[in-house]
């Protein structure tokens, strides 16, 4: 019996569409029970050679207490002529420090003018899917 992709994932909004020329930190999401975490990023047109930077953050609770980076930041540079950018970044729950079970992402661009971006967190390998 085949299973729908949605049955194996939990999707949570982290950053709603907004200007990311200023660093934006998304909502901290409880990742308890998930083994894998994927941030799906979409950004409006970015000028040539300008970039977006994505960084996972971990925290002890939804308020972001004890927040710190999780892994290294990931950059994506716009091609010649500029372009809308999409990118995915992965993490595993085993990378979280003890007593840390909330994850968010930060998103920023060095574009000279306003550019809108958003981030969704997809949680996979779940022990449960509420």
Alpha carbon distance 25, 44 (integer Å): 18
Express each pLDDT in 42-89 by its tens digit: 999 999 999 999 999 999 999 999 999 999 999 999 999 999 999 999
Q: What average pLDDT does the structure give for the chain?
A: 92
Using DSSP, state whether 126 is helix, strand or coil. Answer: coil
Task: Spell out the residues 6+ positions from residue 67 whose beta carbon is closer than 8 angstroms to its own.
Answer: 28, 57, 58, 59, 104
* pLDDT level of residue 8 (50, 70, 90 thresholds): confident
Vertex 10: Cα angle to 34 and 105 (nearest 5) = 75
Percent of residues, the chain, with pLDDT higher than 70: 96
Whether residue 128 has pLDDT greater than 70? no
Token pair of 9, please? 């994932």
Long-range Cβ contacts of 75-82 (<8 Å, 24+ apart): 75/51, 76/51, 76/52, 77/49, 77/50, 77/51, 78/45, 78/46, 78/47, 78/48, 78/49, 78/50, 78/51, 79/48, 80/48, 80/49, 81/48, 82/45, 82/46, 82/47, 82/48, 82/50
């Amino acid at each position: 019996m085949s299973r729908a992709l949605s049955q194996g994932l939990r999707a949570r909004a982290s950053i709603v569409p907004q200007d990311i020329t200023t660093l934006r930190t998304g909502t901290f999401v409880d990742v308890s029970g998930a083994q894998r975490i994927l941030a799906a990023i979409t950004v409006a047109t970015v000028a040539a050679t300008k970039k977006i930077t994505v960084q996972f953050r971990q925290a002890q609770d939804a308020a972001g207490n004890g927040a710190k980076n999780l892994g290294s930041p990931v950059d994506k540079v716009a091609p010649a002529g500029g372009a809308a950018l999409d990118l995915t970044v992965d993490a595993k729950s085993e990378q979280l420090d003890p007593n840390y079970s909330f994850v968010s992402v930060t998103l920023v661009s060095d574009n000279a003018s306003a550019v809108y971006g958003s981030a969704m967190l997809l949680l996979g390998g779940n022990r449960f899917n509420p």
